[in-house]
Amino acid sequence: MNRLIRAVIDAQALRHNLRTIRERARGARVMAVVKANAYGHGLVPTALALAEADAFGVARLEEGLALRAAGITQPIVLLEGVFAAEHLVEAARHGFDLVVHDPLQIELLEEISGPHRFVLWIKIDTGMNRLGFRPSDFPAALERIRRLQPPPFEIRLLTHLARADEPDSSMTREQVARFRATTQGLDYTTSIANSAGLFGAALLGCNWVRPGLALYGASPFADRSGTELGLHPAMSLETSVIAMRQVPKGETVGYGGAWRAARDSSIAIVAAGYGDGLARNLTSGTPVLVDGQRVPLTGRVSMDMIAVDVTSLADVHVGTPVVLWGNGLPVEEIARHAGTIPYELLCGVSQRVPLELR
C-alpha cells in the first residue's frame, strides 16, 4: 500500500491528443506547447512522448535547455524570446527559434555577432495588448528584421487570441481580420491558433497551430469537456485513503468545522491537500473518485489531507484508491468547483508530487 499522491501521466493519451489535434489542424504543423513543466505533466517525459510534434514551444530559455539536454532535436521556440545578449548567444548555440515582440529584442539581434541565423517569429499584437508589435509598428519592425546581418534563416508571423475560448466572441474574428490585413501580401509562414482557436473558431489556413491545453486532454471551453472534443485526459492525480472515521450525526469534520454530519457518516481521510496543489477553496460537495465512485468532499482542504463522505459506499478502507482528477473526473470540472481554469490546476501540481509515466 503506502501509495501516496502521484500524478500518473498517460503517454498514449498524449499521443492520441496530438493525433486528434493534427486531424483538426488539417495539414498545419503542430508546435506542442510544453511551457510550465508541460502544464505540470513533466517537461522532458512529455516532449519525449510527443516525439511526433513538429516543434516545441516553451516560455523560458531554461526549459529549452532542458529539452536539448534530454536529446530533443526538434525546433524549440522561445515564445517570449530572450531579453539579454548572453541569452541570445545561448539560444544561438542551442538552435532555438525566437519570438520577437519588442524593439529591444531587435536591437539585441542587431548587436549579436557570429554566423548563427535564427528562425524569427515576429509577434503582432492584434488586440490582446500583452506582447507584440501593433499593426502600425509592424512594417518598421519587419524592415529592421529583414536587414539583420546575417539575415534571419526564416521570418514567420504569429499572433495570440484573447477570447478564443468564448465561441460567440466577435473579438476573435476581429483579431484574425487584423492579422490578415497586417500580413496581407507577405509570403511568410503564419500561426494564430492556440487550443481554443484550433477547436473553436475556423482558423485554418495558417501554417502552424500552437496547442497547449488540448495536448493534455483538457478543454479550454466552459461548456465542452475535453472528452467531447475527442481528447483523453493525460494526467490522473491519484492517491489513496489513509484513515477511516465514523462521524456521528451532528459532529463536524476538519478545520473551521466547515462540514457537519447530517447523519451518522463514514468519512475517508485521503492523502492529498493544498500542499500537493489541490485548490484550498474547493468546498464540500466537490466530487472525488473513491474506488471509481463519485463521492463528495467534506469540509476544508488541509495541507496534506482531505476528507470525503463515503457513507454511500461499501468497503472503503485504508489503501482504497482515490482519483482527484483524470479519467472519469475531468480536471475542467474540478477547476469549475475551484473557481479557476484547468490550466492553473495542472500547472499547480506541486513539486512533492511524483510524476509516473505510464
Ligand X SMILES: *Cc1c(COP(=O)(O)O)cnc(C)c1O
The verdict on 28 binding ligand X (CB under 6 A) reads no
What size, in residues, is the chain?
358
Of 42, 51, 64, 4, nearest in space to 234 by CA: 42
Choose which of 105, 183, 195, 239 interacts with ligand X (CB under 6 A). Answer: 195
Q: For residue 229, give the nearest of 205, 196, 202, 207 by alpha carbon.
A: 196
Q: Which of 40, 42, 81, 212 binds ligand X (CB under 6 A)?
A: 212
Cell numbers at residue 241, please? 485513503
Asked if 269 and 245 count as a contact pair (C-beta separation under 8 A), the reply is: yes
Residues whose CB is less than 8 angstroms from the CB of residue 244 and which lie 6 or more positions away in sequence, other chains included: 266, 267, 268, 269, 316, 317, 318
Q: How many CB atoms lie within 10 A of CB 333?
A: 14
Choose the stretch contacting ligand X; rule: CB under 6 A; options: 16-24, 191-199, 294-302, 328-336.
Answer: 191-199
State the catalytic residue, choosing from 188, 216, 249, 255: 255
Residues 141-170 binding ligand X (CB under 6 A) are 160
How many residues bind ligand X, per CB under 6 A? 13
- 211 is a site residue for ligand X (CB under 6 A): yes
210 belongs to the binding site for ligand X (CB under 6 A): yes
Give the whole-angstrom CA distance, residue 350 versus residue 336. Answer: 20
Q: Which is nearer to ligand X, 291 or 332 (CB)?
A: 332
**Catalytic-residue membership of 35:** yes
175 binds ligand X (CB under 6 A): no
> Using the rule CB under 6 A, is 326 a contact of ligand X?
no
220 binds ligand X (CB under 6 A): yes
Q: Judged by CB, which is closer to ligand X: 200, or 287?
A: 200
Which residue of the chain is nearest ligand X when measured via CB? 212
114 neighbors 106 (Cβ within 8 angstroms): no
Q: Shortest CA distance to 188 belongs to which of 158, 213, 216, 165?
A: 158
Q: Is 123 a catalytic residue?
A: no
Residue ranges in 51-80 that form contacts with ligand X under rule CB under 6 A: 79
CA 148 to chain centroid, in Å, comes to 34
d(CA 266, CA 251): 12
Choosing from 35, 216, 274, 343, the catalytic residue is 35
- Is residue 237 within 8 Å of 273, Cβ to Cβ? no
124 contacts ligand X (rule: CB under 6 A):
no
Instruction: Give the binding range for ligand X (CB under 6 A) out of 194-202, 235-243, 259-267, 284-292.
Output: 194-202
Q: Does 217 bind ligand X (CB under 6 A)?
A: no
Least spacing, CB of residue 311 vs ligand X, in Å: 39
Task: List the interface residues with ligand X, window 248-267 (CB under 6 A).
Answer: none
3-class DSSP state of 146: helix
Nearest distance from C-beta of residue 195 to ligand X, angstroms? 3
The C-alpha atoms of residue 278 and residue 258 are separated, in whole angstroms, by 17
The amino acid at residue 215 is: L
Nearest distance, CB of residue 45 and ligand X, angstroms: 18
Distance from the Cα of residue 153 to its chain's centroid: 29
Nearer to ligand X, 59 or 65 (CB): 59
Question: Can you give the binding site for ligand X, defined by CB under 6 A?
Answer: 33, 35, 79, 160, 194-196, 210-214, 220
Query: What are the catalytic residues?
Result: 35, 255
